[in-house]
Structure 1
């Protein structure tokens, strides 16, 4: 039985209350020694009769920690290793492989503290402890100590110092400890940014919201636009997003009254991440001013401020949406917020804690991550890609970045659409901060195959400045690589991705290993008249697939003028400014146009999302599927599916046609995968791409695969959409280079 030793614990052990946890366990088991933070590892000097019990306990870690390894070494014969007590010693530097955990929601104990009458934290909005609160958004450097966070600007008062130093306190060595006497403060401002005199800014904010005012509120990772439901239409009109659904925040009982919430969804809603959950409304027509879909994005209060705000509110729901235009980075600074938002905001509620790293709300649907951000990112995943250090700069839309180093990938929070110069700057900023925290010195830069993407240009800039090689990774192969590194059939179904042949892919079947994934099937290649214009006006996409007089008559009846129709016809005839695509997303757009569900896309994914919402009320039937073949393999005719849908419009309800279209498109995709699996002798089928969020399409594909004893694989750690691409780029590049 061992009585002493040096314990080295590696992993995510910073910002998770690990040192105070070790201290309390040492006290429990009568252990003498010390604990020291060394970047991505904690080193413990321990002596005592109950060493083994102590070792077993500390090896489990805290709720927020992630343990990679535990190593025990003999102690040298040195008096310093055998102190009479146990203490936490000053942090040092070490190997940077653990990274910093994401921001997490306020814990139940801290919520109790803020409502405890005459307690130290009564009504204090920024209350936190070792188990909760901001992490990534405040970190400047590691090791994670207060002086290397934005909390450095708020020296602890004597009461906080005592609690910080007390082993029996939940805030023992909590770097974010603060109270009303010494911590960050709130300030209410008018629409011009001038301070409003108030002794209780949270109560006043609640009163203003209940009166129908719109506020911009500075949160953990940036500004939100906030209002009650009666002001939703005004907010949407002001933002120019009259159709786009908005997220809401409410207490648990309210959300469960409005939406169907499964046991799993309840756990995710109330977990440490507290994401926005896309839930099905109990009444699909309800709350239409917030969302005209059959779903509603809901989240629970995740900071002390939110809990205090709801304690004063009369309205049960708050609209809470990011205060930035789509695809642009979150607004973090009050001056910028006043400049950009004063045209639609009545008041601002700000605080004086600097946001070092902006971070949007995460979004989850049915257990699948849509937007990887607060609570989930930065995301650290263990994977062996060799000894090289790789940066993956991601795609162009829904971008983020991933760094691989020594057996781990680190994926940043959601960045956005890097077509926008401010978002490209944000990508640069994010990469620079991550590489500094990780200590990354790259060997390769991985990027999308598309030569014109700004992310591709950014990758080449870095490579040129550092004298490095770049590795181009095809978009949909990155999707599959993000799911598995095993030999597999890959189903990649999304909106857009640059293909090997220069065409726009998005409905692809692959077979083989990640380093040699062959395209063995796809959706029919069709025309996109006007290129990107066809994504805005899905009627263009419809005619690009079905060039018939009947389609022209439909468009004419829906307001298309003769000149506009004439231009569309000539574009198609002459192939002028006409792209070619096998995209699943564009086929769903065309179906949405055919059924007159969406005439113009005003936000990303709108036609397909509205199609799914309408389809939820319909029963589906099986249609005949038509296949052809080309040099790549099997081709599913989407023209045939749309022709069937057009014919069904004479006898079937719109909801039933929408449901049937989705079902049969999914059947066709699954059948191509089944055929490929039989041909190549593979049983794993990786499914990725934004279209896989569609419940009926995803479950239909899975059901068809399982009928043939195939094993569907989907990503549970990263988004199914393009938020997994930077990770997939690192995987492809690492395996190719290895």
Structure 2
């Protein structure tokens, strides 16, 4: 039995209360020694009769920690008669800092306690909760290197901060109404409303139907009650886009179907938005006209205090920035951009150092990796060279690698405009500063015209790093697994090896060598990107038949527009080809009259899925051609079958047509998924590989994903789905890192 030792613990050990955790364990077991924090390492010198029990106790780690290595060496030298917490110092920084997390139950109790030190204080937190990444300036993580350094703690807070037996010991965000950040409520002209309790007044305004901008942990949200949702959408110019809500759990349960795994995610420290199925698909249509709605629980003290005053059961909550743009963090910027939309501003004076949007999850799968979940840290051996990957064009983030650790940033947005490009640059600079890493390899998308690709090229030249372009869909598969597999990459758009638009791809092999062995049929995109905004163009690109032109004419297309479309397709003028799964779903949505113009990303396919949720699928014929050793699924055949099924319903009454459309939508999704699965099965049998990785934004479609997985399993093939990173483009920077490292 050992009585002493030096213990080195590596991983996420900063900002999680590791030293107080070790101190409390040592005191309870009569252990002497010391504990210090050096970046990503905790070093403990310990001695005592119950040393082995001490090891077992600290091996668990505090709630927010993540332990990579737990090493015990012989103790050298003499230690003190008591147990001491020593100052933290610099060291290896690959542990980084944990993400911002929701207020814990203990702190909720503190703000609810009448007459307590933290009673009704909006920014109450402890070592187990509160802001982390959003406030950090530099490592190691101590108050002086965060945006809390401007708020010196009062004597009571200082006493708790310095007491190792209390849960606020070394809680860098400790604060109270006497010493901490303060709230201000203003009208759109900047006049402060100081006549009453700030939060109570804000709740009264919300209950009255007013629209407020609320500054949170990582940026501004726009909030209103349900009766004001339609007006808010109109003001934002997003009349069709579904919005998320914030509500207490019991209200969310009344509105939606919450499975146990959903409940666990909803209540997790990350508190993401969870996309849930409505109990009544037609309910709350002013918020979401889909069969689903995004729900998040209150996750800050401010939210809990607001709900304690609100009479309305829920708040509509949406990011104040335009879709794809960076979060708005500063009050002057918010007032300038939102003046025509927002009537009041509820803000605070704690600087947001690193902006962070809400994370989004559906069916346990990450849609947006951000607050509460990022920076995301993963262990993977990619060799000795440091790597930076800057991601794709849409839904981008960045990943940096060194010494067996990948760190992926929170969601950045769509790198199509200068502000988001600057945010990418800012994020990369922050990652490099916080980790102390200078990349020797920089990975980027293979598309030469992306702004992120140009940035990567310029940065590589500046640093003397190697530049490695990575094909989009191969990055998708690499992010899902490093094992040999059949790769199924189904999404909206990606630059292919042949310089066309890919998006329905089957690969075989092992990272970094994936051979393209199957794909969806190449179809036409009349007008290129215009066909993504107007999916009826995509429909005619797939089926060039008079029935489609007649259908479009009946919907209001004039003869000139129809003639121009027909000639454009015939002459292939400004018409590219694509194998995109997303574009095929768009065309099906247009055929069924569900979405004739896309007003937000993914709208046509999401409307198709919403309609299909009410229908029952039937099996259709699947046709696969072998073209030069590459299997091709004929999507034109599926679309023609859908057209044949749909035309008889065009003259039916709306109720009958709606039921028919639901069944056709369900059947189209079901059979497209069956066809994709058949491509993968053929590839598996030909290559002797019995594992298949699924990735791409189309995989969020529950019916498509489940149908593919079911078909694979029926043929003895094990499906692999990434639950640690988004299935959409939020996994690409990580996949690029894997591809570059394995090369």
TM-score, with structure 2 as normaliser: 0.98
**Residue 528 in 1 paired to residue 535 in 2?**
no
Q: CA deviation at 1:612?
A: 0.2
Partner of 2:693: 686
Q: CA deviation at 1:626?
A: 1.6
Partner of 1:660: 667
CA distance in 1, matches of 2:679, 2:495: 21
Partner of 2:733: 726
CA distance in 1, matches of 2:553, 2:648: 22
Q: Find the partner of 1:354 among 348, 351, 356.
A: 351
CA distance in 2, matches of 1:365, 1:486: 25
Partner of 2:23: 23
Contact 1:494/1:691 (8 A) holds in 2: yes
Q: Find the partner of 1:637 among 634, 637, 640.
A: 634
Could you say what secondary structure the match of 1:277 adopts? strand
Contact 2:20/2:165 (8 A) holds in 1: no
Q: CA deviation at 1:631?
A: 3.1
**Residue 615 in 1 paired to residue 622 in 2?**
no
Contact 2:184/2:347 (8 A) holds in 1: yes
Matches within 5 A, 1:113-128: 113-128=110-125
Cα shift readout 1:585-634 (whole Å, capped 9, x = no counterpart): 00000000000000100000000000000000000000111222223511
CA distance in 2, matches of 1:136, 1:726: 20
Contact 2:478/2:512 (8 A) holds in 1: no
CA distance in 2, matches of 1:75, 1:93: 22
Could you say what secondary structure the match of 2:312 adopts? coil
Partner of 1:443: 440
Partner of 1:141: 138
Partner of 1:456: 453
Q: Find the partner of 1:714 among 699, 716, 721.
A: 721
**Residue 485 in 1 paired to residue 492 in 2?**
no
Q: CA deviation at 1:487?
A: 0.7
CA distance in 2, matches of 1:560, 1:650: 18
Cα shift readout 1:214-235 (whole Å, capped 9, x = no counterpart): 0000000000000000000110
Cα shift readout 1:552-595 (whole Å, capped 9, x = no counterpart): 11111111122211221121122111111000000000000000
My pick for the range that moved more, 557-566 or 300-309, is: 557-566
Cα shift readout 1:381-433 (whole Å, capped 9, x = no counterpart): 01111111111100000000001111111000000000011001000000110
Matches within 5 A, 1:191-340: 191-340=188-337
**Gapped runs of 5+ residues in structure 2?**
650-659
Could you say what secondary structure the match of 1:126 adopts? coil
Q: CA deviation at 1:194?
A: 2.4
Partner of 1:372: 369
TM-score, with structure 1 as normaliser: 0.99
Q: CA deviation at 1:52?
A: 1.5
Cα shift readout 1:63-89 (whole Å, capped 9, x = no counterpart): 1100011122223234xxx11221211
Q: CA deviation at 1:197?
A: 1.8
Contact 1:327/1:420 (8 A) holds in 2: no
Partner of 2:75: 75
Contact 2:161/2:170 (8 A) holds in 1: yes
CA distance in 1, matches of 2:11, 2:527: 50
Contact 1:519/1:632 (8 A) holds in 2: no
**Residue 41 in 1 paired to residue 41 in 2?**
yes
Could you say what secondary structure the match of 1:639 adopts? helix
Contact 2:440/2:464 (8 A) holds in 1: no
Q: CA deviation at 1:274?
A: 0.6
CA distance in 1, matches of 2:648, 2:554: 19
CA distance in 2, matches of 1:629, 1:201: 68
My pick for the range that moved more, 210-219 or 96-105, is: 96-105
Matches within 5 A, 1:478-557: 478-557=475-554
Partner of 1:51: 51
**Residue 420 in 1 paired to residue 420 in 2?**
no
Contact 2:4/2:47 (8 A) holds in 1: yes
CA distance in 1, matches of 2:53, 2:363: 40
CA distance in 1, matches of 2:538, 2:68: 50
**Gapped runs of 5+ residues in structure 1?**
none
How much is the aligned-residue C-alpha RMSD, in angstroms? Answer: 0.9
Contact 1:491/1:673 (8 A) holds in 2: yes
CA distance in 2, matches of 1:694, 1:619: 16
Q: CA deviation at 1:199?
A: 3.7
Partner of 2:565: 568
Contact 2:212/2:222 (8 A) holds in 1: yes
CA distance in 2, matches of 1:225, 1:208: 13
Partner of 2:657: none
Could you say what secondary structure the match of 1:94 adopts? coil
Q: CA deviation at 1:193?
A: 2.1
My pick for the range that moved more, 99-108 or 623-632, is: 623-632
Contact 1:210/1:315 (8 A) holds in 2: yes
Partner of 1:381: 378
Q: CA deviation at 1:91?
A: 1.2
Partner of 2:32: 32
Partner of 1:402: 399
Contact 1:188/1:198 (8 A) holds in 2: no
Contact 1:505/1:581 (8 A) holds in 2: yes
CA distance in 2, matches of 1:198, 1:355: 27
Partner of 2:654: none
Contact 1:186/1:350 (8 A) holds in 2: yes
CA distance in 1, matches of 2:511, 2:627: 23
Contact 1:398/1:417 (8 A) holds in 2: yes
CA distance in 1, matches of 2:4, 2:91: 23
CA 1:632/1:531 → structure 2, altered by over 3 Å: closer, same or farther? farther
CA distance in 2, matches of 1:110, 1:129: 7
Could you say what secondary structure the match of 1:649 adopts? helix
My pick for the range that moved more, 241-250 or 380-389, is: 380-389
Cα shift readout 1:185-211 (whole Å, capped 9, x = no counterpart): 000011122222234110000000000
Contact 1:542/1:594 (8 A) holds in 2: yes
Could you say what secondary structure the match of 2:561 adopts? helix
CA distance in 2, matches of 1:392, 1:596: 40
Matches within 5 A, 1:3-18: 3-18=3-18
Cα shift readout 1:532-559 (whole Å, capped 9, x = no counterpart): 1000000000011111111011111111
CA distance in 2, matches of 1:113, 1:197: 25
Q: CA deviation at 1:516?
A: 1.3
CA distance in 1, matches of 2:344, 2:10: 46
Number of aligned residue pairs: give it. 733
Q: CA deviation at 1:651?
A: 4.8
Partner of 2:463: 466
